[in-house]
Structure 1
Amino acid sequence: MENIITFFDIPAVDFNRAVTFYKSILGLEINETEMYGTKMGFFPSDGTNVSGAIVQGNDYKPSADGVVAYLNGGNDLQTVLDKVAAGNGTVIVPKTHISPEVGYIGMFIDTEGNKMAVHSIN
């Protein structure tokens, strides 16, 4: 087993707001579609990496109390954290050094109320 995680969903109350938020903080395109009554915004994937989607549907409820997904913060996660407040999210853990081997983490609450995190080596 290469990755314990193969896909993740980020629940949204306001799909368009959530898509705008993640596009702005991560600087990437999100492919939007609807499947079986659920709106989905897929993060880019080349088919070899773990990816996920923003989802809005009856079975999806945002939460700051459940599992926390760590997104790739690129070369320096501070770049992402700096965009969180501008996108109407809230940084709850600033860039924090864990160890030389692990690097840094930071955490935020997104526009939908989900607790999320970012990771980078620098």
Structure 2
Amino acid sequence: MKKPILIALLFLGAGFTACDNNADTKSQTEKSGTANQTLNKEMKNLASIIEIPVADLTRAIAFYEIILDVSIEKMEMDGVQMGVLPSDGKTVSVVLAKGDDYTPTTDGALVYLNAGADLQTVLDKVAQNGGKMVVPKTAISPEMGYFALFIDTEGNKLGLHSSN
């Protein structure tokens, strides 16, 4: 009789310990969740750097400088040639990257570039400079603005976004 009671007490003790550990885990998860929420409130963007793979950096720089009306700085790091698009340091950095590990593609993550006040101005320059329009300027909603998709001179599919 003592043996079954001892076994029952062991199982009960193990059960209480497991329940207590779950409470600790839940408490840690809640604390972690609060920390993540605080971190996310402090972060302006979840993305920080976007690398657009290119086959011909000179051609890609010329294309993006014309369609976006910006100057792109050339640099090299660890065997990767890059064209760095201008940034205010508070927004996502966009880099054109040419190297062994970079292959232009229409598959994968879709990056939308800010096209300013009206994306049609940028979109008009795409085909004139070697790109191809995939989806014309399309309304999302009055609150969200407009988008368009294009293939750049390197074969990457990208999007444009604007409020008008």
TM range (shorter): over 0.9
Gaps of 5+ in 2: 1-39
Give the match for residue 32 of structure 1.
74
Residue 112 of structure 2 is aligned to residue 75 of structure 1: no
Q: Equivalent of 1:109, from 126, 151, 164?
A: 151
Post-superposition shift, 1:46? 1.6
TM-score by length of 2: 0.73
| Coordinate RMSD, CA, aligned | 0.6
Instruction: Tell me how far apart the structure 2 counterparts of residues 120 and 105 of structure 1 sit (CA, whole Å).
Output: 7
The alignment covers a number of residue pairs equal to 122
If asked which structure has higher relative contact order (CA below 8 Å, sep 6+), I would say 1
Q: Tell me the CA shift for residue 17 of structure 1.
A: 0.5
More helix by share: 2
Residue 99 (structure 1) aligned with residue 112 (structure 2): no
Q: Cα deviation per residue 1:82-119 (whole Å; 9 max; x = unaligned)?
A: 00001100000000001011000000000000000000
Whether contact under 8 Å (2:45, 2:91) holds in the other structure is: no
Amino acid at match of 2:142: P
More strand by share: 1
Provide structure 1 residue ranges, at least 5 long, that are not aligned to the other structure: none
Bigger Cα Rg = 2
